[in-house]
Structure formats: C-alpha cells, structure tokens
C-alpha cells in the first residue's frame, strides 16, 4: 500500500537532488567522452596534414624511406618481435615521424 502512496506523493527535495545528481554525472561523462573523441580527431588530422606536407615536400619515396628507417630500429628493440624478410608493418594512422 505504501508503494502506491509513494507513486502519487510529491518527491522530496532529497530525491530530486539525487536524481539530478545522477543525470549531471551522466551528462559530465558524455561531455568528457566527446572531448576525448574530438582530441583524437584533432590528432588524426594533424598527423594526416603532416604526412601530406611531407609527401608534397620530399616525395613519396623520401617518406617511405624515412618511415622504413624509423620502423627498423623499433622492430629490433621490441621484445619477442619476429621479423619476416621483406615485410614491414604499416601503421594505421600516417604520421610525419
């Protein structure tokens, strides 16, 4: 019977505050997630622009040679990494490194 009475009674300020606190925490979490996603997009587009500028300045061969030279020491220092002759790892996101 008390359950029915609670459904039709006015919510207390404490219940309202608790519900709003939960909503605000969810809203804050969503805003932080959007910020992280936006920062990831910014980093991606900066990398793409740097890559394209490098290709425009030095040509494709220069960029490929530079990337192969940078990838070779990293592959040699990685523990447990197996090297296959003639195969190189291509990063998903192009970078100007």
Does residue 51 have a pLDDT over 70? yes
Which residues have C-beta within 8 Å of that of residue 51, sequence separation ≥ 6?
Answer: 63, 94, 95, 96
pLDDT at residue 80 greater than cutoff 60: no
pLDDT at position 63 is 87
In the predicted structure, residue 60 carries a pLDDT above the cut 80: yes
**pLDDT, average across residues 34-42:** 97
Rounded Cα gap, residues 14 and 10, in angstroms = 12
**Element (DSSP H or E) covering residue 34:** helix 13-77
Copy the structure tokens of residue 67: 């990337």
């Amino acid at each position: 019977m008390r359950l029915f009475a609670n459904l039709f009674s006015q919510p207390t300020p404490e219940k309202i505050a608790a519900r709003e606190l939960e909503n605000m925490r969810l809203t804050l979490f969503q805003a932080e997630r959007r910020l992280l996603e936006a920062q990831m997009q910014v980093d991606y587009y900066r990398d793409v622009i740097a890559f394209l500028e490098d290709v425009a300045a030095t040509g494709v061969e220069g960029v490929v040679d530079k990337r192969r030279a940078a990838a070779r020491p990293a592959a040699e220092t990685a523990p447990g990494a197996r090297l296959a002759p003639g195969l190189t790892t291509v990063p998903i996101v192009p970078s100007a490194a």
